[in-house]
């Protein structure tokens, strides 16, 4: 097939200058033998970040022009995009649809950040959502949803031959309840190491941390509502706790890592940690919810012993405590990490089973083949 793909590279701020989406959403299509015309979405991302209407307009016109020129040269079979509100004008998406080529848009984090795609979703033929329970949100705005779970690309995410020198590791930002889990492990003798933004400052950036601190301080001191003052005090304590990790355990806190370092960390670690809790919109004023991340698939694909929170959706992809290790609270996490550190044969069995399942069922090559069948595009 000939595919027009609208995509940018970056996916994970915990990984420095990473190419995650190119590795997972672009390269598998090439592996399957498809011709892919890649249109960079970087300018659209800049327009969204700066709320720059002029840049968004230019990006939208360039997108349409590039599509028209390539489609006239040789017709496309599919448009595959990874776009969000504020990146592109809906009229440009409508123009792509008028060509008669099926248009799809992939998005993740819909369980808690649906506001990033709610406006543009009705302007695609199909919306591929990574979280199963996000379906109703798309239907509510008149969009057409299709559950398309995340996966991993085994040509890049794979075991590497390095010594296992770390007891436990986590690659990801410091938010929600992650610091609580990490500190619980460290206080109980597990040498866990963390890599990513927010572990030095307590939030995704020092500026965000300072802004939130002033906000919570003002509410705690001056709000007329006693309930609001108590809430702000609790949030301030939580921010202080997250920012304390680096002071209390400086040897265990590290900056973001490269793509290659991420893959190696999965093999260097006896236990690779995962945390499913996220804030609604990454905003601590909103409730905590849970959803799967790319690491739920990357870690087993790299042959890691992966230990993460339990979620019914996770159990649809991996058998709990056979292919991945699951926990339901801090105490169970500590118990299971200790068990597998003390029982290397049991750990090896989980690693082997998890890798086997990931390779069999959770490659992006397989995800794309399933998608093409769902869309009626698979050719005999």
Position 161 in a domain = no
Q: Do 24 and 294 contact (CB within 8 A), yes or no?
A: yes
CA distance 216 to 200: 20
Residues 367 and 357 in one domain: no
Position 67 in a domain = yes
Contacting residues for 202 by C-beta, under 8 A, at least 6 apart: 174, 209, 239, 240, 242, 243, 244, 245
Residues 17 and 125 in one domain: yes
- Fill in the DSSP letter of residue 157: S
* Closest C-alpha among 126, 120, 138, 119 to residue 101: 126
What is the model's pLDDT at position 210?
Answer: 66
Residues 95 and 239 in one domain: no
Residues 209 and 357 in one domain: yes
Position 129 in a domain = yes
Contacting residues for 304 by C-beta, under 8 A, at least 6 apart: 266, 267, 269, 272, 351, 354
Residues 192 and 123 in one domain: no
Position 225 in a domain = yes
Residues 210 and 271 in one domain: yes
Position 379 in a domain = no
Give the chain's domain count. 2
CA distance 67 to 78: 11
What is the model's pLDDT at position 380?
Answer: 46
* CATH code where residue 21 lies: 3.40.50.2000
Angle at 228 between CA 227 and CA 230, to 5 degrees: 65
Residues 196 and 109 in one domain: no
Position 236 in a domain = yes
Residues 112 and 180 in one domain: no
What is the model's pLDDT at position 296?
Answer: 97
What is the model's pLDDT at position 280?
Answer: 54
pLDDT single digits (tens) 338-360: 999 999 999 999 999 999 999 99
CA distance 23 to 33: 15
State both tokens at 196. Answer: 């990513």
What is the model's pLDDT at position 76?
Answer: 98
Q: Do 199 and 174 contact (CB within 8 A), yes or no?
A: yes
Q: Do 311 and 277 contact (CB within 8 A), yes or no?
A: no
Position 156 in a domain = no
Residues 134 and 216 in one domain: no
| Residue 257 structural domain | 166-361
What is the model's pLDDT at position 279?
Answer: 63
pLDDT single digits (tens) 24-38: 999 999 999 999 999
Residues 222 and 293 in one domain: yes
Position 144 in a domain = yes
In the chain, which residues have pLDDT < 50?
12-13, 16, 380
What is the model's pLDDT at position 8?
Answer: 87
What is the model's pLDDT at position 206?
Answer: 61
**Average pLDDT over the chain, rounded to whole?**
91
Residues 82 and 218 in one domain: no
CA distance 94 to 30: 27
Residues 368 and 345 in one domain: no
């Amino acid at each position: 097939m000939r595919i027009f793909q609208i995509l940018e590279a970056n996916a994970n701020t915990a990984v420095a200058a990473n190419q995650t989406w190119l590795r997972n959403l672009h390269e598998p299509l090439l592996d399957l033998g498809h011709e892919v015309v890649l249109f960079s979405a970087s300018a659209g991302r800049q327009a969204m970040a700066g709320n720059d209407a002029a840049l968004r307009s230019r990006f939208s016109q360039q997108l349409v022009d590039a599509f028209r020129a390539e489609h006239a040269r040789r017709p496309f079979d599919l448009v595959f995009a990874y776009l969000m509100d504020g990146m592109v004008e809906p009229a440009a998406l409508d123009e792509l649809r008028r060509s008669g080529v099926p248009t799809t848009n992939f998005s993740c984090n819909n369980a808690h950040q649906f506001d990033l795609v709610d406006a543009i979703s009705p302007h695609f033929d199909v919306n591929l959502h990574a979280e199963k329970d996000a379906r109703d949100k798309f239907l509510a705005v008149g969009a057409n949803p299709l559950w398309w779970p995340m996966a991993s690309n085994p040509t890049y995410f794979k075991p590497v031959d390095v010594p296992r020198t770390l007891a436990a590791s986590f690659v990801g930002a410091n938010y929600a309840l992650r610091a609580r889990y990490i500190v619980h492990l460290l206080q109980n003798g597990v040498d866990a190491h963390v890599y990513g933004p927010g572990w030095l400052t307590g939030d995704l950036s020092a500026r965000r941390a300072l802004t939130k601190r002033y906000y919570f301080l003002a509410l705690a001191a001056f709000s007329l509502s006693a309930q609001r003052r108590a809430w702000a005090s609790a949030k301030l304590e939580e921010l202080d706790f997250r920012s304390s990790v680096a002071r209390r355990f400086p040897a265990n806190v590290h900056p973001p890592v490269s793509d290659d370092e991420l893959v190696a960390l999965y093999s260097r670690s006896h236990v690779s940690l995962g945390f499913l809790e996220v804030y609604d919109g990454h905003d601590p004023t909103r409730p905590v919810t849970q959803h799967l991340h790319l690491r739920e698939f990357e870690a087993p694909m790299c042959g890691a012993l992966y230990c993460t929170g339990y979620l019914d959706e996770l159990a649809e992809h991996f058998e709990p405590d056979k292919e991945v290790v699951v926990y339901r609270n801090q105490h169970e996490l500590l118990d299971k990490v200790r068990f597998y550190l003390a029982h290397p044969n049991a750990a090896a069995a989980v690693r082997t089973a998890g890798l086997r399942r990931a390779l069999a069922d959770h490659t992006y090559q397989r995800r794309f083949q399933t998608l093409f069948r769902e869309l009626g595009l698979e050719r005999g």
